[in-house]
Amino acid sequence: MFIVDSYTTAVWFCVITMLCWGSWGNTQKLAGKSWRYELFYWDYVIGILLLSLIFAFTLGSIGSEGRSFLVDLRQADASNIWSAFLGGVIFNAANILLSTAIAIAGMSVAFPVGIGIALVLGVIVNYLGSQKGDPLLLFLGVALITTAIILNAVAYRKNAAGTGQKLSTKGLVVSILAGILMSFFYRFIAASMDLENFSAPAAGLMTPYTAVVIFSFGIFVSNFVFNTILLKKPISGPPTSYGEYFRGKFSLHLVGILGGIIWGIGNSLNLIAAGKAGPAISYGLGQGATLVAALWGVFIWKEFKNAPRGVSTLIGVMLVLFLAGIVSIIYAGQ
């Protein structure tokens, strides 16, 4: 299977993760003009599962190092399979809440608050699980990003007040809940893999390619429960049905699948990089997606258009702090 053998390559993979995780929300914004997010989300989940299988049978099954996907799957312990599957269930619950927050409050709010909280708590959880990297630089980066999150919340509140928009308390609360849940999923996947040796992983543990497939099945299976409930009792908007999903245009389904593939590419590359960078650094860099999403929300979707005086300054400082935090996390792994 394909294995990352240098820290520099691992960092670049995490940068790609950052771009993917921060950009998939654009597909929801595109589909959301005529498509409920609960319906979009089914296609998104299918896209994640398809991408994981494609990677498993290609990058995960070539070369002489490691174990090929099917061989690795057959030897995996049930406890490790369950760990990766549970990670998918936790992620799915968190991501449905994040999708809800995007629909209610927009990308420039949902991502910085939700994913920002997930970054801070997730780095702590993953560092405690595998203490790899300079803790001073790592947590300095986390502190800088935490400050950026607070500034984003202040900017959102000032923008809502200055433009006469109703402050979406529900959007903020849902974003916070999504972030707390999101901070735990990665640790369950990481625990199912042999992070110390992808070339010759210990018996019973899985390679990242196999772990991602099990994780993706966890998302897919749990979606029959979580998303069915949301279809009937949505957090925002009127109830909808599976009939509406099957009546959707093919082009709308493709947009959702594309969103899942984009996120899935980022997830796979991030876990492949975790063997060299360590899970805390790999996860922390990937969750720099917050910066990417904020840029999309501010500059492309114009979510702060006609903002009152001072808001643009807050956004600028927020982005600088995010960037400084990401750089600090990168250097923590050297």
Q: Which of 118, 67, 129 is nearest to 94 (CA)?
A: 118
Kindly compute the dihedral angle of the four CA atoms of residues 190, 257, 219, 145, in this order, to the nearest 10 degrees.
Answer: 50
Amino acid at 160: A
**Cα separation of 13 and 29, whole Å?**
25
**Cα separation of 321 and 329, whole Å?**
12
In angstroms and rounded to an integer, the radius of gyration of the C-alpha atoms of the chain is 19
**Cα separation of 319 and 332, whole Å?**
20
Q: Which of 61, 75, 69, 52 is nearest to 2 (CA)?
A: 61
**Which residue's entry shows tokens 């089914």?**
42
Assess whether pLDDT exceeds 70 at residue 171. yes
Higher pLDDT, 218 or 28: 218
> In degrees, to the nearest 5, what angle opens at C-alpha 165 toward C-alphas 160 and 171?
70
What local confidence, expressed as pLDDT, does residue 239 receive? 93
Q: Which of 238, 239, 104 is nearest to 175 (CA)?
A: 104
What local confidence, expressed as pLDDT, does residue 70 receive? 96
What local confidence, expressed as pLDDT, does residue 107 receive? 62
**Which residue's entry shows tokens 């939700």?**
114
pLDDT in tens, 39-64: 999 999 999 999 999 999 999 999 88
**Cα separation of 249 and 85, whole Å?**
31
Assess whether pLDDT exceeds 90 at residue 204. yes
Assess whether pLDDT exceeds 90 at residue 98. no
Assess whether pLDDT exceeds 80 at residue 109. no
Q: Which two tokens stand for residue 122?
A: 């997730």
Q: Which two tokens stand for residue 111?
A: 């991502």
What local confidence, expressed as pLDDT, does residue 64 receive? 82
Span 153-170, average pLDDT: 72
What local confidence, expressed as pLDDT, does residue 57 receive? 97
Q: State phi, psi for 193 to the nearest 5 degrees.
A: -115, 160
Assess whether pLDDT exceeds 80 at residue 152. no
pLDDT in tens, 61-92: 998 888 999 999 999 999 999 999 999 999 99
Assess whether pLDDT exceeds 90 at residue 270. yes
Confidence of residue 166 (pLDDT cuts 50, 70, 90): low
Q: What is the mean pLDDT of the chain?
A: 88
Angle between helices 116-129 and 135-162 (to 10 degrees): 160
pLDDT in tens, 278-289: 888 898 888 777
Span 139-162, average pLDDT: 81
What local confidence, expressed as pLDDT, does residue 190 receive? 92
Q: State phi, psi for 241 to the nearest 5 degrees.
A: -150, 165
pTM strictly above 0.85:
yes
**Cα separation of 172 and 15, whole Å?**
27
Confidence of residue 108 (pLDDT cuts 50, 70, 90): low
CA 142, 143, 146, 148 torsion: positive or negative?
Answer: negative
What local confidence, expressed as pLDDT, does residue 150 receive? 81
**Cα separation of 302 and 90, whole Å?**
32
Contact 44, 226 (CB under 8 A): no
Assess whether pLDDT exceeds 70 at residue 167. no
H-only helix segments in 106-168: 107-110, 116-129, 135-162
pLDDT in tens, 226-255: 999 989 988 778 899 999 999 999 999 999
Assess whether pLDDT exceeds 80 at residue 215. yes
Span 299-320, average pLDDT: 82
Cα distances (angstroms) measured from residue 125 to each of 20, 201, 312, 315: 23, 23, 33, 28
How far the first Cα of the chain sits from its last, in Å, is 25
Contact 95, 221 (CB under 8 A): no
